[in-house]
Amino acid sequence: MATATDGEIELIRAFVRQLTSRYDRGYWVQRAEAGQDVEEMWQELAAAGFLGVTVPEEYGGSGLSMQRLAVLMEELGNHGVPLLFLVVSTAMGCIPIAKYGTEEQKRRYLPAMAEGRERFCFAITEPDAGSNSFRIKTRARRDGDDYLLTGQKAFISGADRAQHMLVVVRTSPADAVSDKREGMSLLIVDTAAPGVTLNRMDTRLLMPEKQFEIFFDDVRVPRANLVGEEGRGLRAIFDALNPERIVGAAMGVGIGRYALSKAVEYAKTRRVFGVPIGAHQGLAHPMAEARTHLELAALMAHHAARVFDEGGEAGPYANMAKFAAGEAAIEAVDLAMQVHGGSGFTGEVDLITLWPVARLLRTAPVSREMILNYIGEHVLGLPRSY
């Protein structure tokens, strides 16, 4: 996979600036408040080829590039229109199939995803397993040429917009294998298949994407829908989760920049005691620190994307990027609200709507505590703590 050039990156940013001049923050908020998706934006992204940035060229995409997708997500965030489902379908849906799918799977699904005709969600989280994904209970047992799928998933983003889902299952129970990493598999499941039930969850986030619980009641899935090897799906799973962390970090950077830009503009024009409030170091210094932390997070996210594209071990950098961006986004949004004072809580200023999204990044898709556990064990070489 070729490294994205400066020219390509600028073309992506220019496209997003043009796109968000028509589908701006006001459009995004209006759709989110109405419980509607942003289909017009999605189709324009498809028409411009941006839904194919993680699809190899031979299947109708522009080449599997996390760098390009990270820039796209960052720039959308810069303009206050983060698209969470773009992370889910384009990164988590496309990449496992592109890297581990059969030739038939690639030809069946990848062109349709690149063209925006079909979409995927990714189903791994379970109510009882939480951060311990090795203890998931959703089970796929063989039945002739099929699997029978039973279990439950939770916090599945955009399941109502997806025609298919990549479902992480156990084809062997955790207590039946000597290594907890064994016995995990990845299946393509149609969201409208008999036995699949979607229940919308009551999450209080202002986003166009909704969250769902999904129940599987003896859902029949052809064995041809297995992605990779049965019981050895961990690599394919993490090749979906690391991109989620990278692109989620890029989104966090963009959200933070958007909030901070509003604070800076306000601090230049709001005058108290005869001078702009931005002239006071009590505000100028925290804003300068917040911008520094955002740019450091951006550099880590871009580095993680480049390592992933080059086939290196991206896990440490993906986790560090996600940690840094989550903290920087919260810092920037909180500071922007403080700079605006009481008006920071009003709908007119539209900062309070960013707080839940920024705060989410500290918890999901992986909590800051689990990231620190990972860094302690896999980067520093410390004894495992859990």
Taking only the tens place, the pLDDT of each residue in 328-342 is 999 999 999 999 999
Give per-residue pLDDT as tens, 28-81: 999 999 989 999 999 999 999 999 999 999 999 988 899 999 999 999 999 999
Domain ranges (residues) in the chain? 6-119, 121-232, 235-379
Does residue 176 carry a pLDDT above 90?
no
Cα-based angle 62, 66, 72 (whole degrees, multiple of 5): 80
| Orientation angle between helical segments 315-340 and 355-363, nearest 10 degrees | 150
What confidence score (pLDDT) does residue 331 get?
A: 98
User: Quick one: DSSP state of residue 357?
Assistant: H
What confidence score (pLDDT) does residue 358 get?
A: 94
Determine how many CB atoms are found less than 10 A away from the CB of residue 174.
Answer: 18
As a whole number, the mean pLDDT across the chain is: 93
What's the whole-number mean pLDDT along residues 124-129? 85
Among 68, 60, 67, 134, smallest CA distance to 97 is for 60
Instruction: Tell me the one-letter amino acid at 131.
Output: S
What confidence score (pLDDT) does residue 2 get?
A: 57
Q: Would you place residue 175 in the very low, low, confident or very high pLDDT band (cuts 50, 70, 90)?
A: confident
Cα–Cα distance measured from residue 125 to residue 241, given in angstroms and rounded to the nearest whole number: 12
Give per-residue pLDDT as tens, 87-108: 899 889 999 999 999 999 999 9
Q: What percent of the chain has pLDDT over 90?
A: 83
Does residue 181 carry a pLDDT above 90?
no
Q: Which of 67-81, 177-191, 372-386 has the lowest mean pLDDT?
A: 177-191
Cα–Cα distance measured from residue 73 to residue 83, given in angstroms and rounded to the nearest whole number: 7
Cα–Cα distance measured from residue 72 to residue 16, given in angstroms and rounded to the nearest whole number: 7
Does residue 386 carry a pLDDT above 60?
yes
Q: Which of 22-26, 202-206, 281-285 has the lowest mean pLDDT?
A: 202-206
Spell out the residues 6+ positions from residue 109 whose beta carbon is closer than 8 angstroms to its own: 97, 101, 118, 120, 164, 188
Residue 139 pairs with which residues in a beta bridge? 150, 170
Cα–Cα distance measured from residue 99 to residue 140, given in angstroms and rounded to the nearest whole number: 22
Q: Would you place residue 130 in the very low, low, confident or very high pLDDT band (cuts 50, 70, 90)?
A: low
What confidence score (pLDDT) does residue 132 get?
A: 66
What's the whole-number mean pLDDT along residues 114-137? 85
CATH class as words, domain 121-232: mainly beta
What's the whole-number mean pLDDT along residues 231-247? 91
What confidence score (pLDDT) does residue 74 get?
A: 97
What confidence score (pLDDT) does residue 385 get?
A: 82
CATH 3.40.50.720 fits 235-379, yes or no: no
Residue 157 pairs with which residues in a beta bridge? 211
Cα–Cα distance measured from residue 198 to residue 188, given in angstroms and rounded to the nearest whole number: 16
Conformational region of residue 246, where left means phi above 0, alpha means psi within -120 to 50, and beta covers everything else? alpha
Does residue 128 carry a pLDDT above 90?
no
Q: Are 152 and 138 in contact (CB under 8 A)?
A: yes
Domain 6-119 CATH superfamily: Acyl-CoA dehydrogenase/oxidase, N-terminal domain (1.10.540.10)
What confidence score (pLDDT) does residue 215 get?
A: 98
What's the whole-number mean pLDDT along residues 365-374? 93
Give per-residue pLDDT as tens, 270-327: 999 889 999 999 999 999 999 999 999 999 999 999 999 999 999 999 999 999 999 9
The tokens describing 339, both together, are 């700079």
> Coil, strand or helix: which one is 174?
helix
Does residue 1 carry a pLDDT above 80?
no
